[in-house]
Amino acid sequence: MKKIISLVIASILGGTIALGAYAFILAKSQTIENSNVISQPMVVKTSYTPVSNYSAEATDFTKAAEQTLHTVVHVKNVSISKSNPLAEFFYGADAGGGQRTIGTGSGVIISPDGYIVANNHVIKGAREIEITLNNQKTYKAEVIGTHESSDIALVKIDATDLPHITFANSDNVRVGEWVLAVGNPFNLTSTVTAGIVSAKARNINISGGRMIESFIQTDAAVNPGNSGGALVNVSGELVGINTAITSQTGSYVGYSFAVPSNIAKKVIEDLLEFGDVQTAYLGVNPEELSSNIAKELDLGITQGVLVAGVTEDGAALIAGIKVNDIIVKMDNIKISKFSNMQGFLSTKRPGDVVDVTVLRGGKEKKFKVKLSNQFGKETIGKLDFSKYLLGSLEKISKGKAAKYRINYGVQFVKVRNKDLISNGVEKGNVILKVADVKVYSVQDVEDVLRKNKGKLIIIQILNDEGFVEYFRLMVNN
């Protein structure tokens, strides 16, 4: 009996111990599992201010794409490379044995009667230009005008009732805004890509300072062939002309650049009205602000454009702007860097009056400035380019022509160009060629200079010792 009782007690005790051990192990395993959950990063809501119910997922690009596709055209540039100048001289341009080269790009129809805007580099050097519409109809195009500094060209086809694009105010474009790029990359016609505006007034220094660089930067995919195509907002309005990419491979690597529509529109209007682009000058020597300059001048800001100098008889000086003023606004548009100011001025003409806000002595001052051209005037005179860039000129005298046995050239009556003066050019020296063109009269010099606006050219000058010297000259727009 005692053995039975002992066996029962032992069984109960063993069961109790087993049950306790199981409960202990289970509790420990649950604790470990819970510790994994607790160790996960905590989710904390950040502070935010709701601005609208707009969401990227809800954006519909189809309307903008449909509106734009029919206004963007394919541009084919046919050019002939010169390989035998002698044969061309005697037998005509087609007899030189030059190679036929075809380049392609894009353009945008801006009027129902066939005016099309494109990039200058797309149609440059063309023997003929062929335009293909989105409906596959083709036309020969005539060049109306070009502007190398903005890389904008205007051409026209003989057609009517064409679909055309509406210009938007590119000053209102915001960083982060959705845009579409429409064009013909790699000859893939009618291609649409989407992205956002990554930056405004971007200077990428692709021209060494010879171009207007105040680009709209986007991450919409743009490749060779897109040049001259449309950059549009979600309403299908033109905000820019796709112009450039920066890439080590030549293909898209994440960002692209467009000429703002306000600049393109002003260039087009000038070409139609004047046959040339009217460039407005503020009359200052601008310099980008930096922390070092700000510290040196004891400034409280590092954004704006420093007036490092003012042009004699220029618009800024007449209005009262002084050296060391900091330009911070123009017509209430913020000027944080030189490309902002350059882009703004590129939409204006000589004679326009603008409000310029400067920081002087820690206080803002506002000036009304009447913009002028590069010669400090509203209009360009008959001989302004030769007079202001070189000096007073006259036809070569008979004595000098006989002395040097030449029948061309113009001589200096007075040298105005400071670089020429510092290099020893003086009264009586003879200009033989301008941009490799022989000149026979002062008007010849003027005409060649006007044709080379915005370019760096070479001038050949015969000095009194009978030696020909070569000088570089930058022809202002």
Q: Which residues are catalytic?
A: 121, 151, 227
Residues for the chain: how many in total? 477
Residue 303 CB coordination number (10 Å): 14
Q: Encoding tokens for residue 268?
A: 């087009």
Beta-strand runs (E) in 61-172: 72-80, 100-109, 115-119, 128-132, 138-147, 152-157
How far is residue 1's CA from residue 275's CA, in Å, rounded to a whole number? 128
Query: Containing H/E element for 244?
Result: strand 238-245
Please give the C-alpha separations between residue 279 and each of 65, 351, 372, in angstroms, as whole numbers.
34, 10, 8
Residue 331 CB coordination number (10 Å): 15
236, 194 contact by CB (below 8 A): no
Q: List Cβ neighbours of 176 (8 Å cut-off, separation of 6 or more).
A: 196, 197
Q: Encoding tokens for residue 402?
A: 């006989």
Q: List Cβ neighbours of 200 (8 Å cut-off, separation of 6 or more).
A: 173, 175, 214, 216, 217
How far is residue 111's CA from residue 259's CA, in Å, rounded to a whole number? 19
Residue 161 CB coordination number (10 Å): 8
How far is residue 349's CA from residue 281's CA, in Å, rounded to a whole number? 8
Residue 73 CB coordination number (10 Å): 30
Using alpha carbons only, give the angle 358, 364, 365 rounded to the nearest 5 degrees.
65
Rg of the chain in Å (alpha carbons): 34
Beta bridge partners of 366: 357
Amino acid at 59: T
Amino acid at 157: I
Please give the C-alpha separations between residue 351 and each of 264, 276, 377, in angstroms, as whole numbers.
20, 16, 8
